[in-house]
């Protein structure tokens, strides 16, 4: 995604029902739709662990 556009990334597939706002997910981009990306989740990342690792 370019800095001059307001694109988004949409997650598809996987266990998306388990996601909550603030969760971090490693994802693989599988398609593009204009300036937007489509990705599939690869790995759930513990948000608390990720914040501590900064």
The mean pLDDT value of the chain amounts to 82
**Secondary structure of residue 49 in the 3-state scheme:** helix
Identify the residue with better confidence: 14 or 2.
14
The dihedral through the CA atoms of 25, 54, 37, 42 has a sign that is: negative
Q: With a threshold of 0.85, does the pTM exceed it?
A: no
Confidence band of 2 (pLDDT split at 50, 70, 90): low
CB atoms within 10 A of CB 10: 11
Average pLDDT over residues 2-21: 83
Residue 48 CB-density burial (10 A; 0-12 exposed, 13-18 middle, 19+ buried):
exposed
Instruction: Please answer whether residues 24 and 50 qualify as being in contact, where contact means their C-beta atoms are separated by less than 8 angstroms.
Output: yes
Retrieve residue 32's tokens.
Answer: 């593009």
Q: Confidence band (pLDDT; 50, 70, 90) for 49? A: low
């Amino acid at each position: 995604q370019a800095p001059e556009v307001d694109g988004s990334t949409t997650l598809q597939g996987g266990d998306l029902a388990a996601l909550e706002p603030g969760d971090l997910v490693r994802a693989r981009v599988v398609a593009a739709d204009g300036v937007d990306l489509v990705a599939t989740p690869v790995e759930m990342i513990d948000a608390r662990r990720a914040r501590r690792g900064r």
